[in-house]
Amino acid sequence: MSPDQSKEFFACLAVRHTPGIGPKTWKAVLEAFDGAYQAVQAAGSWLGRGLVNKGQARAFQDQSWRPAAEQEYRAARAKGMAVLTWSDPDYPDRLRHIPDPPAFLYYCGDLSLLLNPCLAVVGARHCSGQGLEAAARISAELSAAGLTIVSGMACGIDRQAHLAGLSGIGRSIGVLGAGLDVNYPAGNADLRRDMEEKGLVVTEFGPGIRPEAGNFPFRNRIISGLSLGVLVAEAAERSGSLITARLAGDQGREVFALPGPPGRPESGGCNRLIKDGACLVETAEDVLRALAPQLGRELALLRAAAPSAPPQAPAVRTPPQAPADLSPAEAELFAILAGRDKMHIDSLGRSLGWEARKVSGTVVMLEMRGLVRQWPGMYYSLG
């Protein structure tokens, strides 16, 4: 961690540990300045700018936050924890724009996954075989199409969603309701290793924080906040997964649910969500079609952020004619595939000079139009 990053991190801790200041207030404070350190340096102006009330301003000026902030700062540094702060360019915009975002995230793994289009897949810890199969199947297909699967690292549906997500190019992000150094649940130690090696694990909770029940609603807002939508694979009438679905609706995200047999306790929550207006889905294609407008916007942002390199010339063969309404990125990928039997997705990325998330996002859009076909082993051809 550089000196500037250390200052930003400690400033975030100061704001977070101030009594009476919660996520909605620190969002207002952090948005008003170029960074947390600058915000803290100008704390005397918060009240006059209407960012805090008198009690909050007094609490910060009295430095009642200092003991807890210093303790967490030292613990995180001693354990070598990586931290993503509010002002970091890698902090995901989707999460930044929820009403109550975290001021920072501890993380371990591939941080670039935060920039991918994501879908949350959540459900019961104690679930049926049918629910596990459906969660695994849909998560694997969505990951193969380029979506990153987000879930809460619990047993049951969460575990299946993560494992299936890791099987595809989209991979998976796990959000913890405990400190990054806490092994919870113990039965998921193998999943945790895989996630840190091939995916990403994040949390806003400091070192040593145990998974108390009150932590999980805070975790759930991050799960939905990172995602374009939330799919509830299986849940009882009273389930933490329904909290995630409610938060998703409050954040303007799509809510999806898998229907289950009437009368089965583990199906009650999903069936209730569908009655209340959630989108009934049975396949990955149902989700992709519902998210097509958002995926299109995500791809446009990727094009703006990372201009593509000139494509490699296709093999000598009269290529099929590309539709006139393709975007420039879609037309480039179409041209690469034209005249070839199949190409692996990694070869596509190298040929185009694109990052993996841009390749996967473009492929998704072409697949949904029936112009590209996916083959086993992440090979693609024109459809």
The stretch 23-29 carries a mean pLDDT of 96
The stretch 80-96 carries a mean pLDDT of 95
Contact 244, 161 (CB under 8 A): no
3-state secondary structure 267-305: HHHHHHHHHCCCEECCCHHHHHHHHHHHHHHHHHHHHHH
Q: Which residues pair with 231 in a beta bridge?
A: 121, 256
3-state secondary structure the chain: CCHHHHHHHHHHHHHHCCCCCCHHHHHHHHHCCCCHHHHHHCHHHCCCCCCCCHHHHHHHHCCCCHHHHHHHHHHHHHCCCEEEECCCCCCCHHHHCCCCCCCEEEEEECHHHHHCCEEEEEECCCCCHHHHHHHHHHHHHHHHCCCEEEECCCCCHHHHHHHHHHCCCCCEEEECCCCCCCCCCHHHHHHHHHHHHHCEEEECCCCCCCCCHHHHHHHHHHHHHCCCEEEEEECCCCCHHHHHHHHHHHCCCEEEECCCCCCCHHHHHHHHHHHCCCEECCCHHHHHHHHHHHHHHHHHHHHHHCCCCCCCCCCCCCCCCCCCCCCHHHHHHHHHHCCCCCEEHHHHHHHHCCCHHHHHHHHHHHHHCCCEEEECCCEEEEC
The stretch 331-351 carries a mean pLDDT of 87
What is the band of 304 on the pLDDT scale with cuts at 50, 70, 90? Answer: low
Q: For the chain, what is the mean pLDDT? A: 89
350 CB neighbour count, 10 Å cutoff = 12
Give the pLDDT confidence score for residue 129 in this predicted structure.
87
Give the pLDDT confidence score for residue 262 in this predicted structure.
80
Give the pLDDT confidence score for residue 236 in this predicted structure.
81
Q: Which residue has the tokens 């596509």?
A: 348
Q: Which residue has the tokens 């049951």?
A: 156
pLDDT tens-place string over residues 46-67: 999 999 999 999 999 999 999 9
pLDDT tens-place string over residues 317-335: 445 788 888 888 889 999 8
What is the band of 185 on the pLDDT scale with cuts at 50, 70, 90? Answer: confident
The stretch 256-276 carries a mean pLDDT of 85
Q: Are strands 200-203 and 172-175 parallel, antiparallel or unpaired?
A: parallel
pLDDT at residue 309 greater than cutoff 50: no
Compute the distance between CA of residue 161 and CA of residue 118 in angstroms, rounded to an integer. Answer: 12
Q: What are phi and psi of 88, to 5 degrees?
A: -70, 135
Q: Which residue has the tokens 């029940």?
A: 213
Provide Rg for the chain, Cα atoms.
Answer: 22
Give the pLDDT confidence score for residue 368 in this predicted structure.
73
pLDDT at residue 234 greater than cutoff 70: yes
* Cα torsion 25, 31, 32, 35: sign: positive
The stretch 362-383 carries a mean pLDDT of 82
What is the band of 163 on the pLDDT scale with cuts at 50, 70, 90? Answer: very high
Cα–Cα–Cα angle for 366, 368, 372, nearest 5°?
Answer: 40
Compute the distance between CA of residue 142 and CA of residue 168 in angstroms, rounded to an integer. Answer: 8
Give the pLDDT confidence score for residue 313 in this predicted structure.
43
Compute the distance between CA of residue 26 and CA of residue 231 in angstroms, rounded to an integer. Answer: 29
What is the band of 219 on the pLDDT scale with cuts at 50, 70, 90? Answer: very high
pLDDT at residue 310 greater than cutoff 60: no
Q: Among 277-286, 294-303, 351-360, whose mean pLDDT is lowest? A: 294-303
Tallying the residues shown for the chain, one arrives at: 383
31 CB neighbour count, 10 Å cutoff = 12
pLDDT at residue 107 greater than cutoff 90: yes
Return the percentage of the chain with pLDDT > 90, whole number.
Answer: 63
Return the percentage of the chain with pLDDT > 70, whole number.
Answer: 94
198 CB neighbour count, 10 Å cutoff = 15
Closest by CA to 96, choosing from 225, 243, 260, is 225
What is the band of 378 on the pLDDT scale with cuts at 50, 70, 90? Answer: confident
Amino acid at 185: P
Contact 294, 323 (CB under 8 A): no
pLDDT at residue 19 greater than cutoff 50: yes
Q: Are strands 229-234 and 118-123 parallel, antiparallel or unpaired?
A: parallel
Q: Which residue has the tokens 């389930």?
A: 239
